[in-house]
Copies of this chain bind each other. A is one copy, B any other.
Amino acid sequence: MKRSERLVDFTNYLLNHPRKLTTLSFFSERYKAAKSSISEDLVIIKRIFDETEVGTVETFAGVSGGVVFTPAISDKNSQEIASEIAALMGESNRILPGGYIYLSDILGSPKNLDKIGKIIAHEYVGKQIDAIMTIATKGIPIAQAVSSILDVPFVIVRRDPKVTEGATLNVNYMSGSSSKVENMTLSKRSLAPGQRVLIVDDFMKGGGTLNGMKSLVHEFDCLLAGVAVFAEGPFKGERLISDYKSILKIDSIDVEKRSIDVTLGNIYTEEK
């Protein structure tokens, strides 16, 4: 195979195997080419992926060496995308009775979800994450987007156990906004002890739901790798959770004036 042909397949292969170590021998065999040629290919791919901010290509020498592609966006690109989505969120026709915000179109767009997935994944580059956890319903698309970038499975917590889940582990939690005790449940076989779990959700108010998921992580003898939300809403009083990352922050919603004040979340405003 010629270099030009190899590069097309090589690019496609790496994009489809994020965060996986593949040996140079594999490519050498696949393309019937010398390892030195493969290394030269990688130099080209690495440069273009760097320049176009597709992600990083790292090569590791030695017996257990190989190449790993990590999808990534730059801090600048991440912030640009977040600003675009913030502009969408600020549209006045999103305000629903009771001061709720209509988000289903934003979170039903595969392009937006891919961006949201990349932004959240970008915050955990270099950290080991074995699974993504979210709660039905609207957290699911976000969990799936992040899971696709990190190439790890996602698990869906529910408020009521379902017959299709088998034995479940249940926890009670205190809703941060309404101060009611609620229940959440996750299939026993969803997680194995010791796994590192990243919790994601679409929207945070008081943080009660996220806090519930944190306790689920502990009940499964898993480790918490992080908590990330698409948007945090306005909340008076103390949140039940303090260590989280948010892409967007809604400072206020004025139902009468039909205006939403959306700014960038703590991913962009707090020091790392």
Contacts and interface: CB of A to CB of B under 8 A. Distances in A.
A240 interface: no
A48 B98 contact: no
A140 B165 CA distance: 16
Interface in A62-114: 96-98, 100-105, 108-111, 113-114
Interface in A113-152: 113-114, 136-138, 140-141, 144-145, 147-148, 151-152
A100 B161 CA distance: 14
A126 to B, nearest CB: 20
A199 interface: no
Interface of A: 3-5, 7-9, 11-12, 15, 44-45, 47-49, 52, 54, 96-98, 100-105, 108-111, 113-114, 136-138, 140-141, 144-145, 147-148, 151-156, 158, 163-166, 187, 189-190
Contact of A110 (B49, B111, B153, B158): B153
A197 to B, nearest CB: 13
B4 A7 contact: yes
Number of copies: 2
Contact of A153 (B101, B108, B158): B108
Contact of A156 (B44, B104, B158): B104
Interface centre among A15, A45, A103 (most CB of B within 10 A): A45
Contacts of A104: 155-156, 164-165, 187, 190
A235 to B, nearest CB: 16
Given A44-B4, A136-B136, A164-B96, A102 B189 contact: yes
Contact of A100 (B111, B156, B164): B164
SS of A interface (majority): helix
A102 B136 contact: no
A224 to B, nearest CB: 19
Nearest 6 A-B pairs (CB), nearest first?
Answer: A110-B148, A8-B48, A11-B11, A136-B137, A108-B153, A140-B140
Given A44-B4, A137-B136, A137-B137, A144 B110 contact: yes
A44 B12 CA distance: 13
A156 B187 CA distance: 23
8 contacts: A5-B47, A8-B48, A96-B163, A97-B163, A104-B156, A108-B190, A110-B148, A114-B148
Given A108-B156, A144-B144, A163 B102 contact: no
A70 to B, nearest CB: 15
Contact of A164 (B101, B108, B110, B166): B101
A200 to B, nearest CB: 13
Given A136-B136, A151-B111, A154-B108, A44 B187 contact: no
